[in-house]
Amino acid sequence: MTSKAILELENLCGSPLPARCRAVLMEYPSSLVGAVRADDGTDAEGLVSEAELMADPSDVLKINQEVRRESILDPEGREFRWPPKFLVIGETGDGDYYCVDLEDEHKGVLQFRHHAVEFETAAESLDEFIEMLVECFVIRDEYDDDEFEDLDEEFEIEEPE
C-alpha cells in the first residue's frame, strides 16, 4: 500500500494504523495470493484477496469510504453510523464486513453482521484471522476429503453444525 493510501485511510479513520495492520496492507500474505473462494477450486466466486482480506489498497480505501457514507437502521429502528476508528479490511460477500479497531479497545478482527447491526469477534488477532483464511481457502484445496479429515484432527478444526 502506498504512503498516500495509508495517509488517506488514517485521515478517514482519524487514527494511525497499527504496525501489524500496516505491514499486512503493505505486503499481502503470500499464502493467500491467488486463493479462490469457491469450493470447486475455480475463481467463480472471486478471490480471497478481493473479499475476506482485501489486497488492493484502492479497494480498502473505497470500502471504508462506503461504510461511512450513510447510516443504517438497527433492528430497533435506531440510526447506526460506522465507528470512525474501525477499519474495514474485508467482507464476507453477504453484506458483512471484517474490521479492526484502530484504538485496540476491541481486540482482534471483528465481523460486522449487517442484519443484526452488531459486531462480534471473528479472530483474536490479525495473524489468527490470516491463519483462519489459509485453513479455509488454501489448506482445504491442498488435500482430498480423506486427507482433510486427518488434518482436521491434527489442527483440531471443528466443522460447523
Query: pLDDT per residue over 105-148, tens digit each?
Result: 999 999 999 999 999 999 999 999 999 999 999 986 555 444 44
23 pLDDT exceeds 50? yes
Q: How many domains does the chain have?
A: 1
Does 161 map to a domain?
A: no
What local confidence, expressed as pLDDT, does residue 5 receive? Answer: 86
Tell me: the pLDDT tens digits for 149-160?
Answer: 444 444 444 444
Angle of CA points 126, 118, 16, to nearest 5°? 40
User: What string of DSSP letters covers 56-105?
Assistant: -HHHHHHHHHHHHHS-EE-TTS-EE---TTEEEEEE-SSS-EEEEETT-S
Tell me: the pLDDT tens digits for 24-64?
Answer: 988 999 999 999 998 888 888 999 999 999 998 889 999 99
Does 160 map to a domain?
A: no
Domain of residue 82, residue span: 3-155
